[in-house]
Amino acid sequence: MFTSTEIADDLLNAESFGEEEYPLMEDFYTIQGEGAHTGKAAYFIRTAGCDVNCWWCDVKESWDEDAHPRVAVEEIVRRARESGAPMAVITGGEPLLHDLDPLTYRLREAGLSVHIETSGSSPLSGYLDWITLSPKRFKEPVEEIFPYVDELKVVVLRQKDIEWAEKNADKCPDDTTLLLQPEWDTPSSMELIVDYVKKNPKWGISLQTHKFLGVR
Protein backbone atom coordinates (compact mmCIF):
# COMPACT_ATOMS: atom_id res chain seq x y z
CA MET A 1 0.00 0.00 0.00
CA PHE A 2 1.20 3.51 -0.75
CA THR A 3 0.96 6.10 2.03
CA SER A 4 2.02 9.60 1.25
CA THR A 5 3.30 10.80 4.63
CA GLU A 6 5.04 9.49 7.74
CA ILE A 7 2.73 7.25 9.79
CA ALA A 8 3.13 9.32 12.96
CA ASP A 9 2.10 12.48 11.13
CA ASP A 10 -0.85 10.68 9.60
CA LEU A 11 -2.17 9.54 12.94
CA LEU A 12 -1.93 13.08 14.29
CA ASN A 13 -3.71 14.52 11.28
CA ALA A 14 -6.27 11.79 10.79
CA GLU A 15 -8.64 13.06 13.47
CA SER A 16 -9.51 16.05 11.33
CA PHE A 17 -10.01 14.03 8.13
CA GLY A 18 -13.65 14.24 7.05
CA GLU A 19 -14.19 17.98 6.93
CA GLU A 20 -12.29 18.41 3.65
CA GLU A 21 -14.20 18.82 0.41
CA TYR A 22 -13.43 17.63 -3.10
CA PRO A 23 -14.81 18.89 -6.41
CA LEU A 24 -16.91 15.92 -7.47
CA MET A 25 -18.22 15.28 -10.97
CA GLU A 26 -20.03 12.05 -10.07
CA ASP A 27 -19.96 9.02 -7.82
CA PHE A 28 -21.83 5.78 -8.42
CA TYR A 29 -21.82 2.05 -7.74
CA THR A 30 -20.98 -0.01 -10.80
CA ILE A 31 -18.71 -2.70 -12.22
CA GLN A 32 -15.04 -1.94 -12.87
CA GLY A 33 -14.92 -2.24 -16.64
CA GLU A 34 -11.19 -1.95 -17.33
CA GLY A 35 -7.84 -3.29 -16.30
CA ALA A 36 -6.69 -5.94 -13.85
CA HIS A 37 -9.85 -5.73 -11.70
CA THR A 38 -12.32 -5.94 -14.58
CA GLY A 39 -15.67 -7.35 -13.58
CA LYS A 40 -15.48 -6.48 -9.89
CA ALA A 41 -18.09 -4.39 -8.12
CA ALA A 42 -16.72 -0.94 -7.30
CA TYR A 43 -17.84 2.47 -6.08
CA PHE A 44 -16.52 5.03 -8.57
CA ILE A 45 -15.57 8.48 -7.31
CA ARG A 46 -14.83 10.85 -10.17
CA THR A 47 -13.14 14.01 -8.96
CA ALA A 48 -13.31 17.12 -11.14
CA GLY A 49 -10.34 18.97 -12.54
CA CYS A 50 -7.77 17.87 -15.12
CA ASP A 51 -4.81 19.69 -16.65
CA VAL A 52 -3.60 16.95 -18.99
CA ASN A 53 -5.76 17.82 -22.04
CA CYS A 54 -5.87 14.54 -23.97
CA TRP A 55 -7.62 15.43 -27.23
CA TRP A 56 -9.45 12.07 -27.30
CA CYS A 57 -10.63 12.33 -23.66
CA ASP A 58 -14.17 10.95 -23.19
CA VAL A 59 -14.81 12.86 -19.94
CA LYS A 60 -13.96 16.40 -21.00
CA GLU A 61 -16.78 17.67 -18.82
CA SER A 62 -14.61 16.72 -15.85
CA TRP A 63 -11.85 19.18 -16.74
CA ASP A 64 -13.31 22.33 -15.20
CA GLU A 65 -13.14 21.93 -11.44
CA ASP A 66 -15.36 24.96 -10.86
CA ALA A 67 -18.20 23.46 -12.88
CA HIS A 68 -18.84 20.84 -10.22
CA PRO A 69 -19.97 20.94 -6.59
CA ARG A 70 -17.58 20.49 -3.72
CA VAL A 71 -18.63 17.56 -1.54
CA ALA A 72 -17.38 16.74 1.96
CA VAL A 73 -15.32 13.62 2.56
CA GLU A 74 -17.82 12.47 5.13
CA GLU A 75 -20.64 12.56 2.57
CA ILE A 76 -18.67 10.79 -0.17
CA VAL A 77 -17.62 8.05 2.25
CA ARG A 78 -21.17 7.66 3.57
CA ARG A 79 -22.47 7.06 0.04
CA ALA A 80 -19.67 4.62 -0.77
CA ARG A 81 -20.19 2.67 2.45
CA GLU A 82 -23.97 2.51 2.05
CA SER A 83 -23.59 1.18 -1.52
CA GLY A 84 -22.11 -2.03 -0.12
CA ALA A 85 -19.15 -1.87 -2.51
CA PRO A 86 -16.00 -3.68 -1.36
CA MET A 87 -13.75 -1.28 -3.21
CA ALA A 88 -13.60 2.35 -4.22
CA VAL A 89 -12.03 3.51 -7.47
CA ILE A 90 -10.95 7.13 -7.45
CA THR A 91 -10.70 8.50 -10.95
CA GLY A 92 -11.16 11.75 -12.81
CA GLY A 93 -10.39 14.08 -14.23
CA GLU A 94 -6.99 13.80 -12.67
CA PRO A 95 -7.53 12.81 -9.03
CA LEU A 96 -3.96 13.60 -7.96
CA LEU A 97 -4.60 17.30 -8.49
CA HIS A 98 -6.10 16.94 -5.00
CA ASP A 99 -4.55 15.77 -1.73
CA LEU A 100 -6.15 12.35 -1.41
CA ASP A 101 -5.01 11.65 2.17
CA PRO A 102 -8.31 12.58 3.87
CA LEU A 103 -10.63 10.84 1.41
CA THR A 104 -8.61 7.64 1.14
CA TYR A 105 -8.00 7.44 4.89
CA ARG A 106 -11.72 7.59 5.57
CA LEU A 107 -12.60 5.15 2.80
CA ARG A 108 -10.18 2.60 4.22
CA GLU A 109 -11.51 3.24 7.70
CA ALA A 110 -14.99 2.45 6.34
CA GLY A 111 -13.69 -0.93 5.17
CA LEU A 112 -13.24 -0.31 1.44
CA SER A 113 -10.06 -1.10 -0.43
CA VAL A 114 -8.97 1.99 -2.30
CA HIS A 115 -7.86 2.04 -5.93
CA ILE A 116 -6.82 5.00 -8.03
CA GLU A 117 -6.62 5.55 -11.78
CA THR A 118 -4.27 8.37 -12.60
CA SER A 119 -2.07 9.84 -15.29
CA GLY A 120 0.52 10.30 -12.55
CA SER A 121 1.18 13.86 -13.67
CA SER A 122 0.76 15.41 -10.20
CA PRO A 123 2.35 14.43 -6.86
CA LEU A 124 1.21 11.14 -5.38
CA SER A 125 -0.94 11.24 -2.23
CA GLY A 126 -3.34 8.96 -0.39
CA TYR A 127 -3.66 5.61 1.36
CA LEU A 128 -3.87 3.42 -1.69
CA ASP A 129 -4.25 -0.34 -2.09
CA TRP A 130 -3.93 -0.33 -5.87
CA ILE A 131 -2.39 2.24 -8.21
CA THR A 132 -3.25 2.13 -11.90
CA LEU A 133 -0.99 4.43 -13.87
CA SER A 134 -2.34 5.50 -17.25
CA PRO A 135 0.43 7.80 -18.46
CA LYS A 136 -0.24 10.46 -21.07
CA ARG A 137 2.36 12.02 -23.35
CA PHE A 138 0.57 15.37 -23.06
CA LYS A 139 1.79 15.67 -19.44
CA GLU A 140 4.24 13.00 -18.33
CA PRO A 141 4.08 11.21 -14.97
CA VAL A 142 6.21 12.45 -12.08
CA GLU A 143 9.13 10.10 -11.44
CA GLU A 144 8.16 9.46 -7.81
CA ILE A 145 5.08 7.43 -8.76
CA PHE A 146 6.83 4.62 -10.62
CA PRO A 147 8.00 2.48 -7.65
CA TYR A 148 4.38 2.21 -6.47
CA VAL A 149 2.64 1.31 -9.71
CA ASP A 150 0.59 -1.92 -9.47
CA GLU A 151 -0.86 -1.71 -12.97
CA LEU A 152 0.33 0.17 -16.04
CA LYS A 153 -2.52 0.70 -18.49
CA VAL A 154 -1.70 2.57 -21.67
CA VAL A 155 -4.31 3.77 -24.15
CA VAL A 156 -3.14 2.97 -27.70
CA LEU A 157 -4.19 4.73 -30.88
CA ARG A 158 -1.08 4.13 -32.99
CA GLN A 159 2.43 2.63 -32.97
CA LYS A 160 4.09 5.50 -31.12
CA ASP A 161 1.76 4.86 -28.16
CA ILE A 162 3.27 1.39 -27.82
CA GLU A 163 6.74 2.94 -27.72
CA TRP A 164 5.43 5.27 -25.01
CA ALA A 165 4.05 2.25 -23.13
CA GLU A 166 7.42 0.48 -23.20
CA LYS A 167 9.22 3.62 -22.00
CA ASN A 168 6.94 3.75 -18.96
CA ALA A 169 7.09 0.00 -18.35
CA ASP A 170 10.88 0.25 -18.02
CA LYS A 171 10.38 2.45 -14.94
CA CYS A 172 7.81 0.24 -13.18
CA PRO A 173 8.51 -2.62 -10.73
CA ASP A 174 8.98 -6.07 -12.28
CA ASP A 175 5.67 -7.36 -10.91
CA THR A 176 3.56 -4.54 -12.38
CA THR A 177 0.60 -5.74 -14.45
CA LEU A 178 1.17 -4.39 -17.98
CA LEU A 179 -1.88 -3.66 -20.12
CA LEU A 180 -2.51 -2.04 -23.48
CA GLN A 181 -5.97 -0.65 -24.09
CA PRO A 182 -7.36 0.22 -27.53
CA GLU A 183 -8.87 3.67 -27.88
CA TRP A 184 -12.62 3.06 -28.20
CA ASP A 185 -13.12 5.17 -31.36
CA THR A 186 -9.98 3.93 -33.15
CA PRO A 187 -10.74 0.35 -34.36
CA SER A 188 -7.31 -0.01 -36.03
CA SER A 189 -5.71 0.14 -32.58
CA MET A 190 -7.13 -3.30 -31.78
CA GLU A 191 -5.23 -5.08 -34.56
CA LEU A 192 -2.07 -3.24 -33.57
CA ILE A 193 -2.40 -4.35 -29.97
CA VAL A 194 -3.26 -7.97 -30.74
CA ASP A 195 -0.16 -8.34 -32.90
CA TYR A 196 2.03 -6.64 -30.34
CA VAL A 197 0.83 -8.68 -27.36
CA LYS A 198 1.32 -11.96 -29.24
CA LYS A 199 4.94 -10.99 -29.88
CA ASN A 200 5.44 -9.42 -26.42
CA PRO A 201 3.44 -11.54 -23.97
CA LYS A 202 4.55 -9.62 -20.89
CA TRP A 203 1.71 -7.30 -21.97
CA GLY A 204 -2.00 -8.07 -21.79
CA ILE A 205 -5.04 -6.34 -23.27
CA SER A 206 -7.52 -4.20 -21.36
CA LEU A 207 -10.93 -3.65 -22.93
CA GLN A 208 -13.55 -1.12 -21.86
CA THR A 209 -16.02 -3.88 -21.03
CA HIS A 210 -18.41 -1.50 -19.28
CA LYS A 211 -19.21 -0.09 -22.72
CA PHE A 212 -20.20 -3.59 -23.90
CA LEU A 213 -22.17 -4.19 -20.71
CA GLY A 214 -23.97 -0.87 -21.06
CA VAL A 215 -23.02 0.31 -17.57
CA ARG A 216 -21.19 3.50 -16.60
- Point out which residues bind ligand SF4 (CB under 6 A): 50, 52-54, 57, 59, 62, 92-94, 119, 136
Antiparallel, parallel or unpaired: β 41-47 and 21-31: antiparallel
Looking at beta carbons only, is 94 or 151 nearer to ligand SF4?
94
Shortest spacing between CB 183 and ligand SF4, in angstroms: 10
Looking at beta carbons only, is 108 or 134 nearer to ligand SF4?
134
DSSP for 81-138? Answer: HHHT-SEEEEESS-GGGS--HHHHHHHHHTT-EEEEEE---S---SEESEEEE--BTT
- 161 neighbors 181 (Cβ within 8 angstroms): no
The residues with which 118 forms a beta bridge, in sequence order, are: 133
Looking at beta carbons only, is 106 or 131 nearer to ligand SF4?
131
Shortest spacing between CB 12 and ligand SF4, in angstroms: 33
DSSP for 159-214? Answer: HHHHHHHHHHHTTS-TT-EEEEEE-TT-THHHHHHHHHHHH-TTEEE---HHHHHT
Shortest spacing between CB 18 and ligand SF4, in angstroms: 26
Shortest spacing between CB 199 and ligand SF4, in angstroms: 27
Q: What is the distance of C-alpha 57 from the center of its chain? A: 14
Shortest spacing between CB 47 and ligand SF4, in angstroms: 10
Looking at beta carbons only, is 108 or 182 nearer to ligand SF4?
182
Count other C-beta atoms under 10 Å from residue 40's C-beta.
14
Eight-state DSSP code of residue 149: -
Looking at beta carbons only, is 106 or 119 nearer to ligand SF4?
119
Shortest spacing between CB 119 and ligand SF4, in angstroms: 4
Please list, in sequence order, all residues whose beta carbon lies within 8 angstroms of the beta carbon of residue 106, skipping any fewer than 6 positions away.
17, 18, 73, 74, 77
Looking at beta carbons only, is 27 or 94 nearer to ligand SF4?
94
